[in-house]
């Protein structure tokens, strides 16, 4: 799967493409930091205008809005270009995988589900990586940029439970997000979600294979097909039940997440020690840090699918190598 980074044919795409994506994402995050600063200035201006009529001019108001449009326009342009380039980058990765599978397909064709591994799982791998890869990197970059901002904004502000401790707001964000993420990772492990997804794909592959065989082999009995479908149905029903339990915890946590910043800021809001602009900056920075820390939580179902695809492809490649070794011995 990772020959993309070592094969000379693909090394330029692999390494130059990775560097381009990383640098573009870093620029996006830097613009996001500037947007966060804009929120503070804009809402302070709104508070000033509402408290004292005619305290600001209409020109100042429009100028502030246009500065946001300028920043947002650059952000959108970079995001669109990164998305376009990433799609091409990951298809090249898939192409490098498929190229090798084609080269060894004479030995691989006898492996159960070989066609599904080469066609379906490679495209799943590239599409899931497209969804997860850039967002994971961006989440890490957001933490690097926004943790110092959140720390600076929380200086001298009373925080629920932590009082005047200067690290209170940052600690609260980290405890809430890491605690929730670990809880749901543990829940997913207890419910064996990765294993369920893997078993589901194996049973679907066996059912698909017998249907293909039945098209040309009249000796395949409907009872055999029905028995395989029973296995498909039972594993699907088990999957639905496991995800029901998992989603109870995941959705409840994400809903409670909406109030977490306001709960921590309650003493500061009631005491009136923060302006509207500073509060908006804190809540937005808190949300960005919290969202990045909760990346695994929000993307968990997709991560499970990716791990399942990875597991199937690794097993497929292992069996190809075993077939090659057996052929050499004979």
pLDDT at residue 10 in the model = 81
What mean pLDDT do residues 157-177 have?
Answer: 82
- Rg over CA atoms, the chain: 26
DSSP letters for 249-312? HHHHHHHHHTTHHHHHTHHHHHHT-S-HHHHHHHHHHHHHHHHHHTHHHHTHHHHHHHHHHHHH
- What is the model's pTM? 0.69
Contact of 282 with 269, CB cutoff 8 Å: no
Q: What is the DSSP string of 4-70?
A: GGT-TTTHIIIIIHHHHHHHHHHHHHHHHHHHHHHHHHHHHHHHHHHHSTTSS-HHHHHHHHHHHHH
Say what percent of the chain tops pLDDT 70: 91
pLDDT digits (tens, 9 = 90+) for 84-137: 998 888 888 888 888 877 777 777 677 766 776 777 777 788 878 777 777 878
pLDDT > 70? residue 327: no
- Report yes or no: 92 and 10 within 8 Å, Cβ to Cβ: yes
- Domains located in the chain, CATH noted: 3-329 (1.20.1560.10)
Better pLDDT: 184 or 46: 46
Residue range 214-226: average pLDDT? 66
Query: What is the rounded average pLDDT for all residues in the chain?
Result: 82
């Amino acid at each position: 799967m990772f020959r993309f980074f070592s094969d000379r044919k693909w090394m330029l795409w692999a390494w130059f493409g990775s560097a381009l994506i990383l640098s573009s994402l870093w620029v996006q995050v830097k613009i996001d930091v500037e947007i966060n600063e804009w929120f503070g200035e804009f809402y302070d201006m709104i508070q000033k205008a509402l408290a004292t009529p005619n305290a600001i001019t209409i020109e100042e108001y429009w100028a502030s809005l246009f500065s946001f449009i300028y920043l947002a326009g650059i952000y959108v342009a970079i995001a669109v270009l990164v998305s376009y380039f990433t799609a091409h980058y990951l298809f090249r990765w898939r192409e490098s995988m498929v190229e090798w599978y084609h080269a060894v397909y004479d030995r691989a064709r006898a492996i159960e589900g070989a066609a599904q591994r080469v066609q379906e799982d490679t495209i799943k791998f590239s599409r899931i990586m497209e969804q997860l890869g850039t967002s994971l990197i961006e989440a890490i970059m957001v933490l690097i940029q926004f943790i110092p901002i959140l720390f600076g904004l929380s200086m001298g502000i009373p925080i629920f439970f932590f009082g005047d401790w200067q690290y209170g707001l940052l600690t609260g964000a980290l405890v809430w997000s890491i605690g929730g993420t670990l809880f749901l990772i543990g829940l997913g492990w207890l419910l064996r979600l990765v294993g369920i997804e893997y078993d589901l794909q194996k049973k679907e592959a066996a059912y698909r294979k017998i249907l293909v065989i039945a098209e040309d082999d009249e000796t395949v009995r409907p009872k055999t097909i029905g028995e395989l479908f029973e296995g498909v149905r039972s594993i699907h029903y088990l999957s639905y039940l496991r995800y029901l339990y998992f989603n109870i915890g995941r959705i409840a946590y994400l809903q409670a997440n909406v109030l977490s910043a306001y709960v921590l800021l309650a003493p500061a809001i009631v005491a009136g020690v923060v302006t509207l602009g500073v509060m908006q900056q804190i809540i937005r920075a808190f949300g960005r840090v919290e969202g990045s820390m909760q990346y695994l939580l929000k993307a968990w179902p997709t991560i499970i699918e990716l791990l399942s695809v990875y597991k199937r492809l690794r097993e497929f490649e292992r069996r190809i190598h075993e077939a090659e070794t057996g052929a050499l011995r004979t």
